[in-house]
Amino acid sequence: MLKQGMIERLREAAPIIQELVDDLAWIQNEFNPEKATEEERTYVKHLLGLGGNCFDESDWRLKRMYAAVGKTGRLVRNAAGRFEMEGTDIEFTCGSSCEVYAPYFSDEEEWMTWLPTSIEHSGNYYFTARPDMKLEGALVRIKGR
C-alpha cells in the first residue's frame, strides 16, 4: 500500500517541478552575471549545482506516469528488423519509451507491474530497465498516443 496522499502530492508538485525546469533553463540561457548582484551570482552557482537534469528527469517521469495509456500490445520484429507493436504501425527504435509488463523484481514472477523503460540497441535491441528480457512477444504499452 502506498503512503496516503503520496500520489496526489506528486501530482500537485508536477507543475512546480516544470517551473523549476523552466527557471534553470532561463539561468542557462539568459542569466547575465554582469547585471547580477554578488548574492544572485552565489544563488545561481548553488542552483546550477542542483543539476537541471534531475528536475528534467522528474518532470518527464511524472508526466509519463500520469499520461493516459494509448495502446497496448505485443512486440514483434518487422521486415526492417525493428520491433513494432503487433497489429499497429507503431515502431520502436533507439530511445523509444514504453512500459513493459514484467515482474516487479527481476528474479521473481509473483508480482507483475508495468515497468517504465525505453528500448535501445547495441548489437541487439533491449529494454533499458531489463536488459536480459526478450523483446519478442513482450507485452508493452505506450502512453499519450
d(CA 99, CA 88): 16
Crossing angle of helices 52-66 and 6-30, in 10° steps, is: 140
CB contact set of 127 (below 8 Å; sequence gap of 6+): 100, 115, 117, 118, 119, 133, 135, 138
Within a 10 A sphere around the Cβ of 23, how many other Cβ atoms? 13
DSSP-H helix ranges across the chain: 6-30, 38-50, 52-66
Whether the model clears a pTM of 0.75, i.e. scores above it, the answer is: yes
Summarize pLDDT for 52-67 with one digit per residue, the tens.
678 888 888 899 999 9
Confidence of residue 145 (pLDDT cuts 50, 70, 90): low
Architecture of the 69-143 domain: Beta Barrel (2.40)
Within a 10 A sphere around the Cβ of 21, how many other Cβ atoms? 19
Summarize pLDDT for 13-34 with one digit per residue, the tens.
999 999 999 999 999 999 999 9
Domains of the chain by residue range: 6-66, 69-143
d(CA 115, CA 142): 11
Residue 85 Cα distances to 28, 29, 55, 130, angstroms: 39, 39, 31, 18
